[in-house]
């Protein structure tokens, strides 16, 4: 008698649905394309790795999003982080004191330094990687959560998710923080150097950004978006 | 996870015993992931209808050869710009008494002479080693994907992941220069950014574009076709094979 096999979610020709109340789902590794069964994320600490190449499989702790107030709280967190980011770009990031004169600079001033030296491509590059794209990423993630909270069309949400995927590799706030240390060390000889208020703000933004990185692939989030869309008769019925 | 070769993955189970599992690629089964919401989809589904979950436009799996050519083009541009980026000065420091232009390498030497050995090593790696390493590694990956597809797959995958993580740090020097130029602008001293910085920024941008254009999944394919490949349908055999895939050995799975 053949051994009894454990039933798994079966793929259909349209879509391979995630199991709604089961313990696992099928995933493709983004790095090596291996099809594998992944357990459902149960808490903040679960990290999944591909069984073939070891790449981390992005999973959002869905249990948090399943709570009624989960997306609303996350939306508030991301909105606040966006304000903190705007403050971080505006507040002084580094200042030097030279014979009684205090020179202070913020991120916008740093970008403008390229512009005043007629190096517009560098100004554009730095402006996009340290200001425009990080704000855009946070705004799109907030929009995605707003789609889950309110009855916005799922097509809007998909566009926002794609924008997040496009701009995320180009966000370089972490590089800016290390560059800050290098500049401070170089200036430490002839000048008195002080780090500005923007530094803790940048650290907070980086932390929240890292924690919410897998949000766009959350099954629970997309189910909520689709349910709202179906209620509002703006989108097709959910495939599961 | 311990090792893999070809379609087999060797890993450790929960009891620490080695388990060899047959792994199949999504392309082999005609499966791919929605770029917006990461829903698993089959290519039998008409692309025009979009993703059933988020209604995103579906690009399909793309043509490997085209992605490879795009990577090669970006890499060539980065390699060409690497020469002026390292030869020409990137920054000039002018004081009342002197005027000194620095290339990336002389900036590293200056940091070392100041006594900041750790920062000098950091800048040396971020600005000189990483861009050169990224260009040579990506060239190796592109060449191996085309001519030696079965050669050291795991090591190549790890190499790609490593350079993808490290590559973005090449912007470090550019940002540090911007901060210096913004702060030191008095009559006594002034920092001027030179055209070499433009070439260096070009290297950074083109290497980032090259690594984005490269598809790491092509490392794990048996052979890469030149044109679009005919995708197998989910026939009865594949449908039966699907539940056997993967390495899930936890609690019983429920439907």
CA–centroid distance for A78 within its chain? 10
Q: Looking at the complex, does the CB of residue B189 fall below 8 Å from at least one CB of chain A? A: yes
> What distance in Å separates the CA atoms of residue A220 and residue A222, rounded to the nearest whole number?
6
Output the pLDDT for position B155.
86
| pLDDT band for position A64 (cuts 50, 70, 90) | low
> What distance in Å separates the CA atoms of residue B148 and residue B150, rounded to the nearest whole number?
6
Task: Indicate left, alpha or beta for B91 from its phi (over 0: left) and psi (-120 to 50: alpha).
Answer: beta
CB A113 within 8 A of CB A46: no
**Which are the contacts of A196, defined by CB distance < 8 A and separation ≥ 6?**
A91, A92, A93, A94, A95, A104, A106
Instruction: Give the closest residue to A199 by CA, choosing from A172, A180, A171, A175.
Output: A180
Output the pLDDT for position A158.
78
**Which are the contacts of A161, defined by CB distance < 8 A and separation ≥ 6?**
A140, A144, A216, B36, B37, B54, B56
> When comparing pLDDT for B243 and A44, which is higher?
A44
Sign of the CA dihedral running B109, B112, B114, B120? positive
| pLDDT band for position A6 (cuts 50, 70, 90) | very low
Q: How large is the average pLDDT for residues A77-91? A: 92
- Nearest beta carbon to residue A165 from set B35, B179, B242: B35
Q: How large is the average pLDDT for residues A157-176? A: 85
Question: Would the CB atoms of B172 and A225 count as touching at under 8 Å?
Answer: no
Output the pLDDT for position B254.
35
CA–centroid distance for B242 within its chain? 30
Q: How large is the average pLDDT for residues B143-162? A: 86
Q: Express each pLDDT in A113-147 by its tens digit.
A: 888 888 889 999 999 999 999 999 999 988 888 88
| Beta carbons within 10 angstroms of residue B207's beta carbon | 29
Two structure tokens written together for B60: 């399909």
> When comparing pLDDT for A140 and A47, which is higher?
A140
CB B104 within 8 A of CB B86: yes
The overall average pLDDT reported for chain B is 75
- Nearest beta carbon to residue B41 from set A15, A95, A113: A15
> What distance in Å separates the CA atoms of residue B71 and residue B78, rounded to the nearest whole number?
11
Question: Would the CB atoms of A94 and B183 count as touching at under 8 Å?
Answer: yes
Lowest mean pLDDT, pick from A128-137, B22-31, B181-190: B22-31
CB A141 within 8 A of CB A212: yes
B-chain residue closest to A152, CA distance: B54
Residues shown for chain A: 240
Q: What's the CA dihedral at A115, A117, A120, A124 to 10 degrees?
A: -50
Output the pLDDT for position A163.
86
Identity of the highest mean pLDDT range in A17-31, A140-154, A174-188, B57-71: A174-188
Gap from B124 CA to chain A (nearest CA, Å)? 12
> What distance in Å separates the CA atoms of residue A35 and residue A9, rounded to the nearest whole number?
13
Output the pLDDT for position B139.
93
Q: How far is CA A65 from CA A75, A143, B21, B209, in A?
A: 11, 15, 33, 34
Lowest mean pLDDT, pick from A40-44, A89-93, A166-170, B115-119: A40-44
Residues of chain A contacting residue B52, judged by C-beta atoms under 8 Å apart: 14-15, 236, 239
- Asked if the model's pLDDT at residue B244 lies above 50, the reply is no
Question: Would the CB atoms of A165 and B178 count as touching at under 8 Å?
Answer: no
- Asked if the model's pLDDT at residue B122 lies above 80, the reply is yes
Q: Looking at the complex, does the CB of residue B140 fall below 8 Å from at least one CB of chain A? A: no
| pLDDT band for position A23 (cuts 50, 70, 90) | low
Output the pLDDT for position B60.
58
Output the pLDDT for position B255.
30
| pLDDT band for position A184 (cuts 50, 70, 90) | confident
Residues of chain A contacting residue B181, judged by C-beta atoms under 8 Å apart: 113-114, 117
Supply the DSSP symbol for B128.
Answer: I
Model ipTM over 0.85? no
Q: How large is the average pLDDT for residues B107-127? A: 84
Two structure tokens written together for B236: 């009865």
B-chain residue closest to A159, CA distance: B56
> What distance in Å separates the CA atoms of residue A218 and residue A71, rounded to the nearest whole number?
11
> What value, to the nearest 5°, has the Cα angle with vertex B103 and ends B97 and B105?
120
> What distance in Å separates the CA atoms of residue B129 and residue B122, rounded to the nearest whole number?
10
Q: List the domain boundaries for chain A.
A: 1-59, 62-231
> What distance in Å separates the CA atoms of residue A179 and residue B177, rounded to the nearest whole number?
8
A-chain residue closest to B232, CA distance: A13
Supply the DSSP symbol for A14.
Answer: S
Output the pLDDT for position A134.
93
Two structure tokens written together for A51: 């069984």
Residues of chain B contacting residue A34, judged by C-beta atoms under 8 Å apart: 9, 23-26, 220
Two structure tokens written together for B74: 């970006």
Q: Looking at the complex, does the CB of residue B201 fall below 8 Å from at least one CB of chain A? A: yes
| pLDDT band for position B246 (cuts 50, 70, 90) | very low
**Which are the contacts of A64, defined by CB distance < 8 A and separation ≥ 6?**
A44, A70, A74
CB B182 within 8 A of CB A113: yes
Residues of chain B contacting residue A117, judged by C-beta atoms under 8 Å apart: 181, 192-193
Output the pLDDT for position B78.
94
- Asked if the model's pLDDT at residue A19 lies above 80, the reply is no
Residues of chain A contacting residue B119, judged by C-beta atoms under 8 Å apart: 181-182, 185
CA–centroid distance for B178 within its chain? 26
Instruction: Give the closest residue to B197 by CA, choosing from A121, A198, A196.
Output: A121
Output the pLDDT for position B225.
41
> When comparing pLDDT for A177 and A66, which is higher?
A177
pTM for this structure?
0.75
CB B225 within 8 A of CB B65: yes
CB B12 within 8 A of CB B28: no
| pLDDT band for position A236 (cuts 50, 70, 90) | very low
Q: Express each pLDDT in B2-14 by its tens digit.
A: 344 445 555 554 4
Mutate to test the interface with B, among A9, A16, A26, A35 (most CBs of B within 10 A): A35
Output the pLDDT for position A229.
57
CA atoms within 13 A on the CB side of B12: 6
Supply the DSSP symbol for B230.
Answer: P
Instruction: Give the closest residue to A26 by CA, choosing from B21, B218, B244.
Output: B244
Question: Would the CB atoms of A52 and B188 count as touching at under 8 Å?
Answer: no
Residues of chain A contacting residue B219, judged by C-beta atoms under 8 Å apart: 32
Output the pLDDT for position B49.
66
């Amino acid at each position: 008698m053949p051994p009894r096999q454990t039933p798994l979610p079966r793929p259909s020709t349209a879509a391979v649905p995630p199991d709604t109340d089961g313990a696992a789902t099928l995933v493709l590794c983004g790095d090596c394309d291996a099809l594998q069964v992944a357990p459902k994320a149960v808490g903040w600490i679960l990290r999944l790795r591909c069984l073939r190449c070891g790449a981390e499989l992005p999973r959002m702790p869905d249990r948090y999003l399943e709570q009624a107030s989960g997306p609303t709280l996350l939306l508030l967190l991301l909105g606040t982080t966006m304000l903190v980011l705007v403050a971080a770009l505006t507040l002084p990031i580094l200042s030097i004191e030279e014979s009684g004169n205090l020179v202070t600079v913020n991120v916008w001033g740093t970008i403008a330094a390229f512009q005043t030296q007629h190096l517009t491509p560098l100004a554009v590059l730095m402006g996009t990687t340290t200001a425009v794209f990080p704000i855009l990423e946070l705004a799109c993630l907030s929009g995605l959560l707003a789609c889950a909270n309110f009855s916005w069309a799922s097509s809007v949400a998909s566009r926002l998710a794609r924008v997040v995927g496009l701009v995320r590799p180009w966000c370089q706030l972490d590089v800016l923080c290390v560059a800050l240390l290098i500049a401070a060390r170089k200036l430490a000889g002839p000048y008195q150097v002080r780090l500005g208020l923007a530094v803790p703000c940048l650290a907070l933004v980086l932390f929240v950004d890292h924690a919410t990185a897998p949000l766009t692939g959350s099954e629970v989030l997309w189910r909520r978006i689709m349910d709202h869309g179906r209620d509002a008769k703006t989108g097709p019925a959910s495939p599961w | 996870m311990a090792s893999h070769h070809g379609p087999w993955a060797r890993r450790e189970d929960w009891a620490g015993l080695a388990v060899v599992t047959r792994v199949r690629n999504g392309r082999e089964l005609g499966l791919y992931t929605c770029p917006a919401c990461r829903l698993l989809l089959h290519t039998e589904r008409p692309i025009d209808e979009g993703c059933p979950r988020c209604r995103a436009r579906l690009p399909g799996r793309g043509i490997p050869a085209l992605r490879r050519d795009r990577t090669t083009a970006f890499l060539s541009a980065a390699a060409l710009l690497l020469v002026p980026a390292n030869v020409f000065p990137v920054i000039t420091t002018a004081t009342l008494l002197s005027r000194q232009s620095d290339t990336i390498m002389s900036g590293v030497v200056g940091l070392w002479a100041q006594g900041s050995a750790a920062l000098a090593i950091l800048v040396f790696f971020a600005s000189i080693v990483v861009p050169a390493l990224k260009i040579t590694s990506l060239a190796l990956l592109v060449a191996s994907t085309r001519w030696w597809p079965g050669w050291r797959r795991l090591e190549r995958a790890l190499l790609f992941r490593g350079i993808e993580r490290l590559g973005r740090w090449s912007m470090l020097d550019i940002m540090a220069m911007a901060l210096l130029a913004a702060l030191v602008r008095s009559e006594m001293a002034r920092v001027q950014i030179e055209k070499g910085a433009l070439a260096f920024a070009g290297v950074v941008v083109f290497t980032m574009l090259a690594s984005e254009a490269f598809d790491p999944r092509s490392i794990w394919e048996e052979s890469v076709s030149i044109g679009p490949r005919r995708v197998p349908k989910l026939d009865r055999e594949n449908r039966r094979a699907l539940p056997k895939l993967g390495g899930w050995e936890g609690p019983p799975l429920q439907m």
